[in-house]
């Protein structure tokens, strides 16, 4: 998820959920390659969002043709895997 939000209570619940699950993984010597995304995906699987934004809020120029959408409100920056996973 590139953008998520809500009330303070909802965002804190999401952050607490991810933190507690990451700590549980550490106790079990487990770490997902992108643990933030793994735990976010699980959170949203268990707690369905009430509003989904259109693709213009997370546009990936590499995957999508620029002509597919008129307004790009947020353009995704590619991860530099070799830098962040060393």
How far apart CA 37 and CA 21 sit, in angstroms, is: 12
pLDDT averaged over consecutive 10-residue blocks of the chain (86 residues)? 80 94 93 80 88 78 73 77 70
**37 carries an active-site annotation:** yes
CA 43 to chain centre: 10
9, 37, 80, 82: the active-site residue: 37
Q: What pLDDT does 2 receive?
A: 66
pTM of the model: 0.65
Q: What pLDDT does 64 receive?
A: 64
Q: Which residues are annotated as a binding site?
A: 37, 60
């Amino acid at each position: 998820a590139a953008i998520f939000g809500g009330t303070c209570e909802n965002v804190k619940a999401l952050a607490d959920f991810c933190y507690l699950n990451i700590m549980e993984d550490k106790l079990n010597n487990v770490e997902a390659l992108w643990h933030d995304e793994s735990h976010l995906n699980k959170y949203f699987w268990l707690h369905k969002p009430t509003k989904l934004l259109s693709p213009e809020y997370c546009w990936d120029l590499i995957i999508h043709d620029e002509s597919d959408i008129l307004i790009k409100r947020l353009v995704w920056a590619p991860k530099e895997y070799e830098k962040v996973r060393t």
